[in-house]
């Protein structure tokens, strides 16, 4: 039986999950991030979408912030730290390549192929945890109670119930 944990912000988790899916997908990157014939390459670019999600929205290269996101967007420390380590490494790679380069400059860098399998590992871990901890319950709870001013407290109470076997 899977353990149920209610995440406070499943929509942010979904943003991160989709970002890792995109980072693991070499073909999509080559087709949509680099190919100028793609209708709107700007919106699916590394800079606009991936980096904005990982760093501007969530600061996932910061260990303390990642740990604070356990129970909000991450199910456990293993997940938070794997993603933090990847994001810290990716941030350093982007810094070495140059922050205002074209997407093709990143994709053609000799270290970029290391991104694909590592991002796939992060994506796979998040998907496994979605199943293990029942992400659907988090979405159901969020849809039902997210407008409540005490939503964070409600999440805590619900998780306490599950932890004690009362939920």
Which residues, in sequence order, are CB contacts of 155 under 8 Å at separation 6+? 6, 7, 8, 71, 141, 145
- Comparing 35-39, 50-54, 74-78, 144-148, the range with the smallest average pLDDT is 35-39
| pLDDT for position 28 | 84
The Cα-based distances of 88 to 7, 79, 93, 147 in angstroms read 24, 14, 9, 34
Q: What are the tens digits of pLDDT across the range 110-163?
A: 999 999 999 999 999 999 999 999 999 999 999 999 999 999 999 999 999 988
State what percent of residues in the chain have pLDDT above 90: 67
Q: Read off the tokens for 18.
A: 């989709």
In the predicted structure, residue 165 carries a pLDDT above the cut 70? yes
Q: Read off the tokens for 99.
A: 């922050």
Q: Where are the domains of the chain?
A: 10-163
Model pTM? 0.90
Q: What is the mean pLDDT of the chain?
A: 90
| Banded model confidence at residue 42, pLDDT cuts 50, 70, 90 | very low
Cα angle at 13 between 10 and 14, to 5 degrees?
90
Q: What are the tens digits of pLDDT across the range 65-86?
A: 999 999 999 999 999 999 999 9
State what percent of residues in the chain have pLDDT above 70: 90
């Amino acid at each position: 039986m899977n353990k149920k944990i209610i995440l406070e912000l499943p929509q942010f988790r979904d943003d991160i999950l989709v970002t890792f899916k995109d980072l693991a997908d070499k073909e999509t990157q080559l087709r949509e991030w680099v190919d100028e014939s793609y209708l709107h390459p700007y919106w699916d670019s590394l800079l606009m979408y991936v980096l904005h999600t990982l760093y501007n929205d969530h600061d996932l290269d910061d260990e303390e912030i990642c740990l604070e996101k356990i129970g909000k967007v991450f199910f456990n420390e293993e997940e938070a730290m794997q993603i933090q380590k990847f994001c810290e490494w990716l941030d350093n790679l982007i810094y070495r390549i140059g922050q205002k380069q074209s997407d093709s400059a990143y994709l053609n860098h000799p270290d970029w192929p290391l991104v694909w399998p590592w991002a796939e590992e992060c994506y796979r871990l998040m998907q496994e945890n979605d199943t293990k901890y029942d992400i659907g319950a988090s979405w159901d709870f969020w849809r039902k109670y997210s407008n409540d001013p005490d939503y964070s407290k409600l999440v805590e109470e619900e998780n306490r119930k599950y932890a004690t076997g009362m939920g």
